[in-house]
Structure 1
Amino acid sequence: MERAAKITLAVSAVAVAGVCVLAIWGFPRSDAPPLIDQVAAPTSAPTPTATPPITELPAWAQESRPWIIYPEGFRCQGTEGCPNSFRSAFGEPGDVLPDGVEYYDPAKHDYDPTDRTNRFIVMPAPADGVDLGRRTGAEGNPIVSGADTSRVSAYMVWSGDSLGAIGERFAVDPAQLTKNGEPVIPGETRIDPGDLLVFP
């Protein structure tokens, strides 16, 4: 009888120990691998959808054409950017250009103060260092060709401009400039707003 009680006690102790082990094993552990149904599915980055190039200008853009595709990095004078920039308004062009869209051509689009009949008004910005910046007495517009923005070819005089300030702005001797085909003589040649001074 005493022996049966010992066996029953031993079996009970083993059963209690087994229940404790199972209970402890059931608690989540930080080093335990996650259950299969709890493993997060691998996330894939969404595929960006490219905007297809336009094949026709919208109605609002038809009235203000031509739209121009400028070379990468091309800059115009002022802070507004180049006029009618296709890339700025619509993005990258496709293989076939819509009607009213054309590639930049300085001979066709650049501002020419002597002949503006068939030209779009594009005023390319001079290359860095060619124009030292507007200042009192030299606030007019330099004129460069889009083919070579490292050389100022002419200067459109602004109200209040002086030959000395213009010479400082472009690091040029004003006596090297011409106005209406005549050499400029500092102290004698009068300059008025709208006059065109041609650089050597």
Structure 2
Amino acid sequence: MQAADVSSGPVAAPPLAIFVGRLLSIEEVDTDCGENCAPFDSGYVLVYQPLKSMEGGPLPSPVRVQFFGHYGLPSFARFDTALLFVFLGEHQDVLARYLGFPVAQTADGRWAYCPDTHPDDTSPRDRSLARITFARKVEATDAEIPQDDARHRFTRRDAMRPGIRHCAAGMHAEDLVRLHAPDAEPGYLRVWQF
């Protein structure tokens, strides 16, 4: 990896695409980035089949999303489907910082997440929350999880977990997009290597 050449001025992030996708595979990648670089503890290429574009137009299929971090596999990648905020680069696509959410299809055909992602100081009347009934029980991924992350277990503390069918205070995907898209930024990624 090399630093991006910014001699011609500021570097802008590539376009943002937001979509619901089905996880096809997880590929672990080398995190060694050479000298003068702080390496990440984990790196993955997550391959998704787009199911619904929420913003940014049609997508290639499949989408290969790069994710680098310090805490292993992101929690949304343990589910069959997720809402992803992805910067589409010329050479690689990367996840927006903290913006991947496990979602499942609802009984009325929409996509939703359980629980609430509003900032703590959001007043109750400004929260876009709904009672959610999923079309079927929420499913964990059947993609092969790298061995280092296979020990993860879902707990009762996980509001979105495999097997749930109802959510008392969830958010529809459209509300997640409205809330989080304005602040999407690359982060914890090799972001300027697009």
* Common fold by TM > 0.5: no
Which has more radius of gyration? 1
**TM-score (structure 2 length as normaliser):** 0.26
Structure with bigger strand share is 2
